[in-house]
Amino acid sequence: MNDIRWFAPNPYTTLVVSELRRRGLSIDLEGQGAARLALAMSGTVAEKAWRYAVTHDCPLIVFIWDLPPDRTGAGSHDPVWWLGGRFFHLPRPVGGFARRRRYYSRLRYIAAHAEEVWVPSEMTSSSVLSRFGLASRRVPYCYDSERFRPAATLRDEPPTLLTVSRMETHKNQAATLRAAARLGRDVQVRLIGRGPECGRLERLASSLSVRCRFDQQATDTDVVDAYHRARVAVCPSRFEGFGLTPLEAMASGTPVAASDIPPHREFGGAAATYFPLDDDDALVTAVAAALDSTAPNPAMLRDLSIPAAAERFQALLRALLR
């Protein structure tokens, strides 16, 4: 019997698995073999992990990255029951979650019946308490410390302002374009990601006469190279549960200008330059300051490396396996 059945929606959420195996934990990433504990590394795999835990009568941990306010809003979860191997859902006539009500209501039920709920940040912990009414354990994850490191690469000329994120409204890439248009310096923009906002952002770049490269097909290697070539990583998100992009940039030795939201402050500390949301004067000032700054010291991210995250996970998992 394995120690842990690890449910992961993507390779990023398995970064610590190899290190945990080296530390003696037996972990299965697929299949229905029995394990002493199930871990869902995202709400998107929580239902699958729940069914496994019920089948094998083992404890379940649910890792919740975020609860976006545009989806859960000020609403409450709908009543959900688990009966005869099925979920039953009764929609509230009023006052439910704003979007994806069935998904978030089921996630809340699973989290409420899990052994523990883990979250990556204080922000997500507050969200889980206010929207789900549940206590959680803050367990910061990691960035890919094996991929993102400083390199002796020539920076682009003219300087590139880089933003890496899915192109959705709350990621706020338009702020990067507005900053480039108002800087009064010869810069270019590179936006890496894909999503529904791409067309609108292309039109905005054209209207602002900003030289912008839209890269929707970037590989992992391309992303690493982009951080090394950029002069500043602009991270303008309105909402994050963890905030991975600033960490990747700092680890690559690239200065960061970031929106002043709690997860950016929590993990970026004094290494980034911050700007308030919807304050374009402050945005331009922050980007200009980052352009003139020296490279951040990647050592400040020591506690967010893969080995450091694995150490946190190991201590907690072994306590639950006793």
What are the structural domains, with CATH classification, of the chain? 2-142+305-321 (3.40.50.2000), 160-303 (3.40.50.2000)
Please state whether 7 falls in left (phi above 0), alpha (psi between -120 and 50) or beta. Answer: beta
Residue 197 in tokens: 């906002």
Tell me the pLDDT of the chain (322 aa) as tens digits: 999 999 999 999 999 999 999 999 999 999 999 999 999 999 999 999 999 999 999 999 999 999 998 888 888 999 999 999 999 999 999 988 988 999 999 999 999 999 999 999 999 999 999 999 999 999 999 999 999 999 988 899 999 999 999 999 999 999 999 999 999 999 999 999 999 999 999 999 999 999 999 999 999 999 999 999 999 999 999 999 999 999 999 999 999 999 999 999 999 999 999 999 999 999 999 999 999 999 998 888 999 999 999 999 999 999 999 8
Q: How far is CA 284 from the centre of its chain?
A: 25
Which residues have CB under 8 Å from 311's CB, separation 6+?
none
Side chain identity at residue 282, one-letter code? A
Residue 207 in tokens: 């209207």
Give the Cα-Cα-Cα angle 293, 298, 300 (nearest 5 degrees).
100
Q: How far apart are CA 55 and CA 61, in angstroms?
A: 15
Side chain identity at residue 174, one-letter code? A
Q: How far apart are CA 292 and CA 287, in angstroms?
A: 9
Q: How far apart are CA 12 and CA 17, in angstroms?
A: 10
pTM of the complete model beyond 0.75 = yes
DSSP-derived 3-state class of residue 9: coil
